[in-house]
Structure 1
């Protein structure tokens, strides 16, 4: 796994010490902020099988009126459940054990012992289909709901913008038509948005000189 965890093939381990360390106040605060933000760890087994797990939990203490309303705990123990078929690993999962926690609500130095356990179980699943669970997770109902929400949100915003532009365009067009209908028919005037036609397609002054300077300048820049 490329870490301190040792998962020997088909060898169960009920409890193994990962490390013993002393957390400083800053480290405790960092872990607490990670728990508040629902952070989780992610690792990979030998052949890139991913596994995840939360690093802590929070509990609301409603029965303690004179103390903190919310307590934050750091998980100290991780359980690995591994499924194998013959000599191939099919699936691996990591679970943070809620029975092994340490209170990190307050910023105090503390000694923590991190442990883990490993349990191997046989399965009839084929090695070729082991990645199907991750494909199914990508098509989970929650993810589909989020995708549909994003799609509908984009469509609604697009329709609102189109409606707003249509209202502005029709308003200006209506004003121009009203001015044209009430003006002198013998005197043709271009008003409002019609000026764009004359500005976009009118020839510049000294057109020959302009073309010569522009062409020569382009050649000099490309040399």
Structure 2
């Protein structure tokens, strides 16, 4: 987006808020923070602030960015997360229908993550120790934290969707995280006390078999088992 597009929005605000003054510092802030936003999104955000919020003073950069984010989230069909209380009721119904052993198989997403924190409470072996009010409170608190984290993730994803360098960096980080989760990386502490991720040395299974103290026939069988 060009600076001219930001100036067009400033002129729009000046025509709708005639009794308020925009300082030179405000203009610089608008240009600095709003120049990268899609001009259609920016203009609609300002129109919404004027028509819906009925602003009487120039909106802050934060207010405009928030209005732009709302539009982007809607346009990009970001999923609206269910209300925590409704998801708690879903968890209770799922436990009743499928039991402690198989209930989690019918949950997903952050509902499953939040349910994991209190799932042991549904174990029939717990006897009379189950406290629904306490479990509900814990579930809702955890669910709301996870929901806020997911909304933040969506905001970040939307904010860098046009930045090739950041997208590549994110892709690299995700691949490295997959390696770590798959056990192909490990975390070690350096001499300075910092934790770093390092790739594990590949294991030469065939070499280990050759050096093992077993019969030749046993070695052959093991190599065949690993496709060697």
TM range (shorter): under 0.3
Report which of the two has the higher share of helix.
Answer: 2
Report which of the two has the higher share of strand.
Answer: 1
User: When the two structures are superposed, what TM-score results if normalisation uses the length of structure 1?
Assistant: 0.19
Larger radius of gyration: 1
